[in-house]
Amino acid sequence: MSNDVLQAQAVSKTFADGDNSIAVLQGLEFNLAAGTSSAIVGASGSGKSTLLQLLAGLDQPDTGQVAVAGRLWQGMSAAQSARWRNHNLGFVFQFHHLLAEFNAVENVALPAIMAGRKPSVAHDIARQLLASLGLQQRMAHRPAALSGGERQRVAIARALVNEPVCVLMDEPTGNLDQANAQQVLTQLQLVKEQFNTAFVIVTHDPSLAKQQDQQWCLQKGQLVPLSG
């Protein structure tokens, strides 16, 4: 049985631009195993964000298919997709998108509560995750009282609270200085090993990409392995 938590097979996506059509993805293939991290780099406009949208089931390919945790997005209703996404995927973006009025524990617990967990259980899980990310002393702090690196680690904990098989990350260190970025990357490695979580990381940072298990460049609609 395949250990892949993400599978994209022969995925193509074309967008209209006036009278022209732009083929962003062309027969793209991508597989990602549990506990594996994959970095995707590429020029602006190469289709990285489009690929993340397709992997997350937020858009559908023109041809080909995408599966998460062994189940195809195609054929699911909107409600089924939302439920599958909430249980199997986490998301981290360049900006943390934490709720300013909530402290770290409350921010992390919210997706679990929305998924049907009792608040007390969700808060316990949130505390455990924050502790595993080195934030034992920061749990009662609101985002404004946290550093940039701390806020991003809270966002990572929030992405993990429903125990997803994979976390999709879009420029997760793009708003951090080098020291905070490296701290976040170190914590990601620990999370990957501890929870066997897979990560897809879209980035413009070559040093971030080199620290992942796989490195790809999206060009001409295809994922090409990075050399060196």
Question: Predicted confidence band at 1 (pLDDT cuts at 50, 70, 90)?
Answer: very low
| pLDDT tens for each residue of 56-115 | 998 899 999 999 998 999 888 999 998 898 889 988 876 778 999 999 999 999 989 988
| pLDDT tens for each residue of 6-45 | 999 999 988 877 778 888 888 899 999 999 999 999 888 7
Question: Predicted confidence band at 221 (pLDDT cuts at 50, 70, 90)?
Answer: confident
Task: Give pTM, 2 decimals.
Answer: 0.85
DSSP letter string over 115-137?
A: TT--HHHHHHHHHHHHHHTT-GG
Q: In the CATH scheme, what architecture does the domain 4-225 have?
A: 3-Layer(aba) Sandwich (3.40)
Q: How far is CA 8 from its chain centroid?
A: 16
Q: Beta-carbon neighbour count of residue 115 at 10 Å? A: 13
| pLDDT tens for each residue of 98-121 | 999 999 999 999 989 988 889 999
pLDDT above 90 as % of the chain: 39
| pLDDT tens for each residue of 137-161 | 999 999 999 988 888 889 888 988 8
